[in-house]
Amino acid sequence: MSAVTKHLRLTPIDSKGESADVRPARRPIRVPDTLVVHEIYVSVQGESSFVGVPCTFVRLTGCNLRCTWCDTTQAFKGGQRLQRSEVLARALSFDTPLVELTGGEPLLQPGALPLMKELADAGRTVLLETSGERDISAIDPRVHRIVDLKAPASGESHRVLWSNIEHLGPRDEVKFVLADRADYEWARAAIERHELHERAGHVLVSPVFGRLEPRDLVAWVLEDKLPVRFQLQLHKVVWSPETQGV
């Protein structure tokens, strides 16, 4: 994701005025009319085939994975519980044609599904960034689903829900974030075995920032003639890698 021209950071309170922690193993969110939101801001897309396009980001709180290289640990807890109608209004108020739900893991919160439908109904192009561990079959078909398949170095590759591949279509994207050569070979095998380049509109590969040299990944892709789109995290190039809300 990328950085900020306008930004709304939400006070970390819940309905009782206490710090909100929505790690789903302990406190699953069951009320679809509300969402726990970490922040809402406008920037430009830092990843995906929409890279560089102005976008409103709705970052939801909570994640049930703990990837070794995660760069959004601040969204594991905190945030504010809001009515879905308020989240919709705030997201639309930035008046960008593109809106992305991200996290954390947005699909942990049932209210994410109707919110995406409402954003699409309002004429927005809607993106969802999801870990690939949650079922994507119930998502509104107008949504562009960016499914991040976790490679072994993430520590979470055993959590991939491979049945999601059957639901992919031409507006969807599959993403691999790779830390080393072993990750690359794992991703290459998955792409070939499941014919991901035939199922999804784009297959994206990117290096873990600071762990894999981009030029090495490019060389491997070219050598294998892998049918993928190489990408970097634009926001870490334009702004400091430690900058949040971008």
Please report the domains of the chain, with CATH numbers, ordered by start residue: 6-238 (3.20.20.70)
| 6-10, 54-58, 140-144: range with lowest mean pLDDT | 6-10
| Cα 6 from Cα 95, distance rounded (Å) | 11
What pLDDT is stored for residue 239 in this prediction?
56
Token pair belonging to 210? 């600071």
DSSP state for residue 227 in the 8-state scheme: S
Residue 31 has pLDDT above 60, yes or no: no
Give the residue, 233 or 91, on which the prediction is more confident. Answer: 91
- CB-based burial label for 165 (10 Å; 0-12, 13-18, 19+): buried
pLDDT band at 158 (very low <50, low <70, confident <90, very high): very high
Q: Higher model confidence: residue 121 or residue 9?
A: 121
pLDDT, mean over the chain: 88
CA angle 145/147/148 to nearest 5° reads 150
What is the average per-residue pLDDT within 39-61? Answer: 95
